[in-house]
Amino acid sequence: MVSESNLFLFQGHIEPKYVGRYRITDPDSLKATMDSAAPGPSLCGIRRHGENRRLHSIVSVASGNFLAAKKRGVVEGIDYEATGEVKKVDVHRIHERLDNDYVVILSNLRYSSFGGVLNCKYAM
């Protein structure tokens, strides 16, 4: 399965670079990831699961700073540039939103404590 951000790279004739399970997020990769992430999933496609499985006209959506990330940095001489790793998940706040019937939206794009955008491989 090819990720949407990789499709954006391929369309620009840019080959994604991997080291092990990590993609090196250079400026072109970061732009492709940011372009593929916006504006987010269509709310028309989000269904609330219940006995009748019908689409509700009102869907409450929560997004926010549920995850904290850090820059992967240089590992064994390889600079991972804007590749990030999730360092903290605010499970309590996520459960709070879910318990109140919100759909929680998480993105692989996170902001570092220095304000830079990071592309994290795993959102959870």
pLDDT (tens digit per residue) in 70-95: 999 999 999 999 999 999 999 999 99
Q: Which long-range contacts (CB under 8 A, 24 or more apart) does 40-47 make?
A: 40/105, 40/107, 41/105, 46/103
**27 lies in a domain?**
yes
**10 lies in a domain?**
yes
Q: Residue 111: pLDDT band by 50, 70, 90 thresholds? A: confident
**103 lies in a domain?**
yes
Tallying the residues shown for the chain, one arrives at 124
- Count the domains in the chain: 1
Instruction: Name the least confident of 13-27, 53-67, 85-99.
Output: 53-67
- Give the structural domain span for 64: 4-39+57-120
